[in-house]
Structure 1
Amino acid sequence: MADERKVQFIETAMKLFAEKGYYSTSIQDIVDAWGISKGAFYHHFSSKEDLMLAIIQHHFEKMMESFTVIPQDSGSEKERFIQQIAAHFANMHEHKEFLQMMMTEQIPKISSDIHLYLLKQRAYIFSWYCDRLIEVYGTEVERYVFDVATMLNGMIRQYMFCFFLQPSKLHAEEVARFLVRRLDAIIASFSHEEAPILNKEMVEPLIEMEEKERCVLQEKISARIAHMQKKILSLSLDKKIQHELHAALDTLEAELMNEESAPREYVVQGILLYIENRHLPLLADDLAALRKDIEQYRKTNNRWERSKWKKH
């Protein structure tokens, strides 16, 4: 199914769930709205639960993009942070029906996969808050960063609810600046004698969840690259080309797995384009799958997400 058509299916189904409720919407309702047969539905999704997971993934990924699309040259780190929070609030209107669905359904109870995905999203956003707070406020906040990230998360969630109820009465940038001024005051109020409430040990489950997913994707990418290298050696190619393709994949793996620095976009994309331009039909599906895995890895890897991966 083409990506554009899949998005159309997801959006149509999401509107049905928002209007009728997840449990009141049948697969027949969905296929009628899509204009396809039930057989075609099961070709694309294994179940209604699988469709709901696809809807949630699609919208969460779109919403999280609002944190990262602000250019690096938009002022100080604090100003960029304000603009990121404002963009997140402004993004509410586009996803109003999705948020309505999330508020009215007991989404985590639909399936264990959905429950796990939502937990991962919470871990991801909490980690992102911690990283950005340290980038904005420096060592001043490090000791209390888990407490401040928790307070920031609570404030943003509540104001998001207010935006949902009264979108015309709130201005995204005004609210973002208001919240960051509150953060300034909170951070300035800490004394050296005051111990933080939350420490690394207490938030370890969230940190471990994100790290575990990253490691699983690393292993998946490494296995994918090894499979492609093995296939390259089996193809009837010039030995020099085989060697160059094999070496290119080695370089790609090293770039992605480097723990010391963020993957460089021009290296990653350059290698993928180099392989693609060889026009090897037997590698086309593997290359497409590798691109998909790398994109997923990018979304779970803070070292890429914060700044160095995005094009500006």
Structure 2
Amino acid sequence: MAKQRKVKFLEKAMKLFAEKGYHATSIQDIVEAWGISKGAFYHHFSSKEELMFEIVKYHLEKLLTPFMDAKPEGWSDKEWLTQQLTMQLEGIVSQKDFFQMMMAEQLPKINADIQRYLFAQRARVFNWYCQRLMDIYGEKVEKYVLDVAAMLNGILREYIFYMMFDPSMFRAEAIARFIVRRMDAIVAHFDADEEPVLKEEAIRCFTEIAEQEQHERKAQIIAGIGRLKEQVSALAVDKKTHHQLHAALDTLEAEFANEQATPREYVVKGILLYIESQRIQPLSEAVASLTELVHEYMTHHHR
């Protein structure tokens, strides 16, 4: 499924779930909204649960990827945190229907994959808060960073709750600046002999889930490379093209199969761009799917 078309399908399905409720929406309702047959639906999604999982991934990646970008040159750590929190608040309000649906439908209960994914994203965001707090406050916050990250998360969630009701009453940037100033006060007022409440063992379950998700994503990438190799072998192209495509895929596979080193982003992106540049139509869908998986892996790995 072409990426642009897939996005339209996911957004239409999300609106149906938001309006009618997940359980009350049938696959027939979905295919009628999409203007396709049930057979076409099952070509792309094995079930309604898988469709919901794709909707969740699409909306959360849309929210999380931009505000986890690298700090622009010349920006202070505190100013960059403020802007990223602003983007997070604005992103949630702009996807209001999805987040309200997510809360109403209790998505973790739909299936184990969605539950694990949501837990992994929670760990991803929490870890990101910890890193940003350490960048700003250094040794002052190190002992209490888990507690401060938990407070930051809790404060944000409460303001998001009010913004959902009437976004026009609030400015995301003003809230973000207000919250960051509160972080300054919190970090400045720990007693020297005060013990943190949250320690590593308290959040280990979230860390382990995030690590497991990355392991599974890597396995999916390797499986996708294997499928591409089979498709390349079946292509009616000259020997030189066969050899070059197989060599490229072997190199890509080695990047992800090496447990001792992180896949090199420039190598991975270069190989995918090379394969895509060949414009071999029978490979286009598999290449697009693999590129999406690799993008998700690299985004999660570096944040």
Q: Please, what TM-score do these two structures have when normalized by structure 2? A: 0.84
| 1:250 matched residue in structure 2 | 251
Contact 1:256 1:263 in 2 (8 A): no
| 1:80 matched residue in structure 2 | 80
Q: Which amino acid aligns with 2:239?
A: L
Q: Which amino acid aligns with 2:212?
A: K
- Distance (Å, rounded) in 2 between the aligned partners of 1:178 and 1:296: 32
Contact 1:66 1:91 in 2 (8 A): no
Structure 1's unaligned 5+ residue stretches are 306-312
**CA RMSD between the two structures:** 3.2
Structure 2's unaligned 5+ residue stretches are none
Contact 1:77 1:136 in 2 (8 A): yes
Between Structure 1 and Structure 2, how many residues are aligned?
Answer: 301
Q: Percent identity?
A: 44
Range that drifts further, 246-255 or 12-21: 246-255
- Aligned-pair distance for 1:43? 2.4
Mapped pair 1:268 → 2:268 = yes
- Distance (Å, rounded) in 2 between the aligned partners of 1:48 and 1:74: 46
| 1:130 matched residue in structure 2 | 130
- Aligned-pair distance for 1:32? 2.2
Range that drifts further, 272-281 or 73-82: 272-281
| 1:15 matched residue in structure 2 | 15
Q: Which amino acid aligns with 1:41?
A: F
- Distance (Å, rounded) in 1 between the aligned partners of 2:281 and 2:21: 44
Aligned-partner SS, 2:5: helix
- Distance (Å, rounded) in 1 between the aligned partners of 2:41 and 2:232: 36
| 1:215 matched residue in structure 2 | 215
Contact 1:225 1:253 in 2 (8 A): no
- Distance (Å, rounded) in 2 between the aligned partners of 1:45 and 1:230: 22
Is the alpha carbon distance of 1:184 and 1:261 closer, same or farther for their aligned partners in structure 2, counting shifts above 3 Å?
A: farther
| 1:308 matched residue in structure 2 | none
Is the alpha carbon distance of 1:192 and 1:248 closer, same or farther for their aligned partners in structure 2, counting shifts above 3 Å?
A: farther
- Aligned-pair distance for 1:209? 1.4
| 1:50 matched residue in structure 2 | 50
- Aligned-pair distance for 1:255? 8.6
- Distance (Å, rounded) in 2 between the aligned partners of 1:204 and 1:59: 26
Is the alpha carbon distance of 1:115 and 1:222 closer, same or farther for their aligned partners in structure 2, counting shifts above 3 Å?
A: closer
Range that drifts further, 230-239 or 89-98: 230-239
Contact 1:233 1:242 in 2 (8 A): no
TM alignment of 1:67-146, pairs within 5 A: 67-69=67-69, 72-73=72-73, 75-146=75-146
Contact 1:249 1:271 in 2 (8 A): no
- Distance (Å, rounded) in 1 between the aligned partners of 2:164 and 2:99: 8
Is the alpha carbon distance of 1:259 and 1:170 closer, same or farther for their aligned partners in structure 2, counting shifts above 3 Å?
A: farther
Mapped pair 1:237 → 2:239 = yes
Range that drifts further, 65-74 or 251-260: 251-260
| 1:6 matched residue in structure 2 | 6
